[in-house]
Structure 1
Amino acid sequence: MRVIVVEDDPDVRGVVVSGLRSAGFAVDEAANWSQADLSMSVNDYDCLILDRMLPEGDSADELHRRRQAGMAVPAIMLTALDDISDRVAGLEAGADDYLTKPFSTDELVLRVRALCRRRTTMVPPVLRVGDVTLDVARREVRRAGVLQTLTPKEFAVLEILMTHQPAVVTRTELIEHCWDERADPASNVVDVVVNQLRRKLGEPAVIFTMRGTGYRAGPVRL
């Protein structure tokens, strides 16, 4: 899942970005709305993490204008404004969630993950391909009942492939959803992670290369 953090305080932004990346998110960052708008014009995000007070002013007003213009990405506001009236204003402006500072990084991760899942409400909580199961909420993958130890990036790639099975997911789509702006689209990072997944999951294979296109998860096609 790919998210963007909009926060002008570099220290707070660093903590949020680090916490989300450690939890397996692909994270881009912006210090103001201008930078955020540029990123959102070229990237598809699953969630927007937004400081309430930015250099341009109150983000509630900025978010409201963008909601009216059709921006649908789920948003969570981070703010020191904790009065009930402030919460109401933020939610009425179009925020989907509201978390006051200081906050727990663990709680933020859970709230962001819940908002990301909201974009794919038709996806079942447990995905299955053959004897491989992926529990979205528990962040667990099992094969034939045996728990698999995956890195956050491996989990993210497998989740995308299993969510879209048996359709083919292109390398570009995997880069867009599982990596952030630091990734080099010309590199072989996708192939490396997929190969690691195949090795860990073992046989019979559940991830297949579609030459010239990308990858798919599912049973063997005869």
Structure 2
Amino acid sequence: MRVLIVEDNRDICENIANYLEQHRYIVDFAYDGIRAMHLALTHAFDVMVLDLMLPGMDGLSFCKKLRAEAQLNTPVLMLTARDTLDDKLMGFEAGADDYLVKPFALQELHMRLQALYKRSHSNMNNLLTVGELTLNKSTLQVHRSGKLIELNPTGMKLLQRLMEESPTVVTRDTLETLLWADERPDGDALRSHMYKLRQAIDKPFANSLIHTVHRIGYRVAEESQ
């Protein structure tokens, strides 16, 4: 597991690193918020340990930028001497996933990092991705290029099936069965629903991800083949 420790106290950093490296962690350090943001944007970390009182950029500002501007969901454990309820609430509102108060036991830090890692990787199994398009099967949120896309339940069903099968073609019959089982409506209702889905997924963007395969069905892929 690769962890970024954002902490300006070098003695604390050394103690954490010595302990975590015994458990086969790969540990990187940042002693100020600006350096931490650079590392977060240029390297892939499994978890981050973040102090609040930092030079350059404080921990709350760092966490807010990480979530809102950089749109990174890397789990963050705030490690700080601030121990009031208000401090903890501000930390979670800024985007922290866990909060540990100094002084702390290294064993507890290790177990909390393990829990964050397992939780984040479990959530990844629920994330469908095709190019810049993502669908979280747990939250039913769809994003393209970081933009949230609102879909009705029918559009969500269609998109999920198409993304699960991507880049394979999903036949019209399969999609119609998905929506209506044996009670299919008159006319070409599927085409109407696919049109609405395209308006939401493709119209605001330069390239299309939803492709029609004539007389067969539809597919979601980065390029039509």
Residues 32 and 11 of structure 1: is their aligned pair in 2 closer, same or farther, counting only changes over 3 Å? same
Give yes or no for contact 1:17–1:29 (8 Å, CA) kept in 2.
no
Alignment of 1:52-67 (within 5 A): 52-67=52-67
Once residues 41 and 62 of structure 2 are traced to their aligned partners in structure 1, the CA distance between those partners, rounded to angstroms, is 16
- 1:117 Cα deviation after fit: 1.2
Per the alignment, residue 142 of structure 2 pairs with none
Give yes or no for contact 2:51–2:59 (8 Å, CA) kept in 1.
yes
TM-score calculated relative to the size of structure 1: 0.53
Between the two proteins, the alignment pairs up a number of residues equal to 124
Per the alignment, residue 199 of structure 2 pairs with none
Per the alignment, residue 147 of structure 1 pairs with none
Per the alignment, residue 46 of structure 2 pairs with 46
Residues 122 and 113 of structure 1: is their aligned pair in 2 closer, same or farther, counting only changes over 3 Å? same
Runs of at least 4 residues of structure 1 off by over 3 A?
none
Alignment of 1:158-169 (within 5 A): none
Per the alignment, residue 87 of structure 1 pairs with 88
Identity of aligned residues (%): 36
- 1:24 Cα deviation after fit: 1.6
Q: Does 1:105 align with 2:102?
A: no
Alignment of 1:135-214 (within 5 A): none
Opposite residue 108 of structure 1, the aligned amino acid is: L
Once residues 86 and 124 of structure 2 are traced to their aligned partners in structure 1, the CA distance between those partners, rounded to angstroms, is 35
Opposite residue 7 of structure 1, the aligned amino acid is: E
Opposite residue 111 of structure 1, the aligned amino acid is: R
Aligned-CA RMSD value: 1.7
Once residues 39 and 58 of structure 1 are traced to their aligned partners in structure 2, the CA distance between those partners, rounded to angstroms, is 15
Once residues 101 and 38 of structure 1 are traced to their aligned partners in structure 2, the CA distance between those partners, rounded to angstroms, is 26
Residues 33 and 110 of structure 1: is their aligned pair in 2 closer, same or farther, counting only changes over 3 Å? same
Per the alignment, residue 16 of structure 2 pairs with 16
**Runs (5+) with no aligned partner, structure 2:** 126-225
Once residues 42 and 85 of structure 1 are traced to their aligned partners in structure 2, the CA distance between those partners, rounded to angstroms, is 32
TM-score calculated relative to the size of structure 2: 0.52
**Runs (5+) with no aligned partner, structure 1:** 125-222
